[in-house]
Structure 1
Amino acid sequence: MTLTKCADVLVMGAGPAALCIVAELVEQGLQVTALASHLPDKEWPNTYGIWAEELETLGIASLLGHRWDKTVSYFGDGIGAEGSVPTEHQFDYGLFDQAAFQKELLRRCGDLKWSVETALKISVLGSQTEVLCCSGNTYRARLVIDASGHRSRFVRRPDHGPVAEQAAYGVVGRFSSPPVESSQFVLMDFRPDHLTLKEREEPPSFLYAMDFGEGVFFVEETSLACSPPLSSKILRERLHKRLEHRGVEIKEILHEENCLFPMNLPLPDRSQSVLAFGGAASMVHPASGYMVGALLRRAPTLAKQLALELAADPPLDSQALAQKGWNVLWTSELIQRHRLYQFGLRRLMSFDEARLRSFFATFFCLPREDWSGFLANTLPLSRLIAVMLRLFWMSPWQVRVGMLFGVSD
């Protein structure tokens, strides 16, 4: 067994959340230990999309591998020309260049080396926290941050019943004919004309798709949130049925993607002595499923505050440091916003496909700065409430009833 020197902060994980917070901690001059089940340069399995303005605000729009200014959604029924009129968002959307994004975060982590370990037990020893690994090695730090994802068993959270999950099955490939228009990005295609009336009674899903150029497209069938989640098999079948209905055949699969993550995970117990970040800290946006923008915005603030607290005299113990971190990560305002988003998601989960299409058609009639801020979780609480009230009054009466009471079977 090896006991390592006590670090300022120990971070568990090697995904985007872990790299974001480690990079900021290192830039604060802190001594960091990093543990994960694999090295941080392992290729990330999923794609990450974001509205380009979020990265422009942060000055890192160059990390986008693809960017579209032709962004649309479809909320009609798909029947006739009128049922297939797109909603034009007039707002640039992008996908990260995964390799460039990962490489940039690793560059900012300096010469820090990750230890490939699996944590077995975490014990608070007053001024230090000890992590015992399956290898028998023991690591100590004044503060432990779990950034290993929503499945972490070291982060306590209340049980509020079944958790809704977003599920998706997607294909990057070549097709017999373009599944979307040239240079187009489709955020949501809810048209149900490829489904039978019975299938429309099942939990709805939509197409998320884009043109990568040179004859390559990405198409993904997505379920916004469902408990239990729609299976990959169902989503795959729906995707093929949707393409077939439009006379499109997959000719070559270059990459398959399966996504499954919680949308309404309860906030962690913020009195615990292990701090969390990313999915482990329930930072997935309950209304959109996005998280990377929040990671990039909130990591610097958290790291700066932790650096100040670690330098306090007299020194704070691990429990007090974690409490300081939780207070920064989940302020009262952010908690209230999160609760509002979760309330809205519960209502949307009760909607059938027709009511859901009507809701989103109304939502994207809001001023762009309102709907984009809503999806990015950048609206102050007072404005968020005002936007939600405005959306309520703009909506058809069927949607209003659903917003107030939900829709029973």
Structure 2
Amino acid sequence: MIACSDVLVMGAGPAALCIASELVQKGLKVSALASNSPDRLWTNTYGIWAEELESLGMASLLGSRWTNTVSYFGDGVKEEGLKPTLHNFDYGLFDQSLFQKNLLDKCDGINWIIETAEDIRYRDSITEVICTSGKIYRARVVIDASGHRSPFVKRPDHGPIAQQAAYGIVGRFSSPPVEKDQFVLMDFRPDHLTKDELEEPPSFLYAMDFGEGLYFVEETSLACAPPLTWSKLKERLLLRLSHRGIEIQEVVHEEHCLFPMNLPLPFLNQPLLAFGGAASMVHPASGYMVGALLRRAPALADELSKAITSDPSLDSARLAKRGWQVLWTPDLVLRHRLYQFGLKRLMSFDETLLRSFFTSFFKLPQDEWFGFLANTLRLPRLLIVMIRLYFLSPIGVKLGMVGLVKK
């Protein structure tokens, strides 16, 4: 007889560990299945506005924190185009190893299965995960937290998927690529590009000073379908640095990022539950997700715990339904659609219009632009913020917002 868990979580990244750790805290019998060990170190950097972690009592998980946070939306040529937009809001990067260890410690007692899932089937009111080894693992409900590429989570096809792509370097340079103790959220200055290159999809620099002569510089494309290639982004990054007379002296780490921004929501009536990228939890307007994982995992775990312990007769489909209803409330679904609408408009903006849009966006009150980027504004407030942004914006951006200006 194959043992049956209350919940089986698929994956070993931040999403999987966030939800698995909360389920364990509820006293449920949890197993986890992943192709790689959960102890395998995460290599990508995870950024977040410090207030998001402070509100959760997790600020100690930050490995780096910056108070001097800025962006550049000018043309980089005229004097006014050289001035930064001051955010006056702390930004940080997770200490990846500490973050990972913190979650793994909370996962104490989980049965970790290092296998690759090949198929999922539903029978006798439970879910069975069939692995490439031929072994079968059973649970009352399965949560796929293995990422946006999961073949098991079903969703509608709404056409091409816009993806955020980035190529970055942690290293040492001939001269500082950013000012001392500075974090640059977005540097859209295009003065290093030719006229033909300005016609291509825009990208920006995301950069920070780690101290002791170490910096992180990353060329990022907000969203594009098809996505900009890493080779193109690397070429642009090197051109940007060269234009400023900066040479790379040592590469400590290379980073490659590629993830969907406008992935449709999964079908919310399927018996397989999902979390993280597999559940389309990436913020369509900003690309951030970790804050949402930390905020939304407790409620999902609480609902599943109540359902599993209170009614042993609930099958996988009904348990998953309870989970989907908590994970994607009507308010969150409508917010997701609004953000996707906004992203579609931004993708039609050329480089000049995009710089103008972000100049207007950061003129919003701090709590509003922060809430927009963190997805913490409830629907009525979000609508008010979007209307306010429209009236703050110059005529060109207004026309772009209503679809009357295209590249």
The match for 1:212 is 210
TM superposition score normalised by structure 2: 0.99
CA contact (8 A) 2:30 2:111 kept: no
State the secondary structure of the residue aligned to 2:195.
coil
Unpaired runs of 5+ in structure 1?
none
Residue 227 of structure 1 corresponds to: 225
**Alignment-mate amino acid for residue 387 of structure 1:** V
Work out whether 1:353 is the aligned partner of 2:351. Answer: yes
State the alpha-carbon separation in 1 of the partners of residues 171 and 63 from structure 2.
17
- Of 231, 250, 257, 1:252 maps to 250
Distance 1:314 1:248 in 2: 64
Deviation (angstroms), 1:127: 2.1
Q: CA deviation at 1:114?
A: 1.4
Cα drift, residue 312 of structure 1: 2.4
Question: After TM superposition, where is structure 1 displaced by more than 6 Å over at least 4 residues in a row?
Answer: none
Q: Which one of the candidate residues 339, 342, 354 is aligned to 1:341?
A: 339
Give 3-state SS (helix, strand or coil) of 2:299's partner. helix
Counterpart of 1:279 in structure 2 is 277
Q: Which residue of 1 aligns with 2:237?
A: 239
Structure 2 letter corresponding to 1:231: T
Contact 1:173–1:250 (Cα < 8 Å) also in 2:
yes
AA aligned opposite 2:228: L
Which amino acid in structure 2 is aligned with residue 285 of structure 1? H
Give the match for residue 266 of structure 1: 264
Q: Residue 292 of structure 2: which of 286, 291, 294 is its match? A: 294
Query: CA separation of 1:407/1:114 partners in 2, compared to 1, >3 Å: closer, same or farther?
Result: farther
Cα separation, 1, equivalents of 2:90 and 2:243: 29
Within 2, Cα distance between the matches of 1:201 and 1:11? 44
After TM superposition, list the pairs within 5 Å mapping 1:310-329 onto structure 2: 310-313=308-311, 315-329=313-327
> C-alpha deviations, 1:248-285, integer Å up to 9, x for none?
11000000000000000000011100000000000000
* In structure 1, distance between residues paired with 2:246 and 2:333: 44
Structure 2: how far apart are the matches of 1:45 and 1:12? 19
Instruction: Please tell me the residue identity of whatever aligns with 2:374.
Output: A
Structure 2 matches for 1:105-254, cutoff 5 A?
105-254=103-252
> Deviation per CA, 1:323-353, whole angstroms, max 9, x where unpaired?
0000000000000000000000000000000
- Alignment-mate amino acid for residue 362 of structure 1: S
Match in the other structure for 2:60: 62
Q: What does residue 70 of structure 2 align with?
A: 72
Residues in 1 aligned to 2:246 and 2:143: alpha-carbon distance in whole angstroms: 47
**Alpha-carbon displacement from aligned partner over 1:19-69 (angstroms, at most 9, x marks no partner):** 000000000000001000001011112100000000000001000000000
Corresponding residue number in structure 2 for 1:40? 38
Q: Secondary structure at the match of 1:230?
A: coil
The number of residue pairs the alignment matches comes to: 407
1:159-193 Cα shifts (integer Å, max 9, x gaps):
00000000000000000000000000000000000
What is the TM-score when the length of structure 1 is the normalising length? 0.98
Task: Confirm whether residue 12 of structure 1 aligns to residue 16 of structure 2.
Answer: no
Deviations 1:57-86 (A, max 9, x none): 000100000000000000000003221100
Map of 2:402 onto structure 1: 404
Match of 1:304 in 2: 302
What secondary structure does 1:266 align onto? coil
Question: SS at the partner of 1:405?
Answer: coil
Instruction: Give yes or no for contact 1:351–1:406 (8 Å, CA) kept in 2.
Output: no
Rounded to whole Å, the distance in 2 between the matches of 1:58 and 1:243 is 37
Answer yes or no: is the 8 Å Cα contact 1:156–1:268 preserved in 2. yes
CA distance in 2, matches of 1:298, 1:78: 40
- State percent identity of aligned pairs: 69
**Is the CA contact 2:43–2:96 (under 8 Å) kept in the aligned structure 1?**
no
Provide the secondary structure at the position in 2 that maps to 1:91. Answer: coil
- Residue 407 of structure 1: CA displacement? 3.1
* Alpha-carbon distance between aligned partners in 2 of 1:23 and 1:170, rounded to the nearest angstrom: 31
Which is further off, 42-51 or 85-94? 42-51
Q: Which moved more, 1:398-407 or 1:163-172?
A: 398-407
Q: Distance in 2 between matches of 1:69 and 1:166?
A: 26
CA distance in 2, matches of 1:89, 1:134: 50
- Inter-partner Cα distance in structure 1 for 2:124 and 2:19: 24
Give the SS at the match of 1:182: coil
Match of 1:88 in 2: 86
How far is 1:197 from its partner?
Answer: 1.1
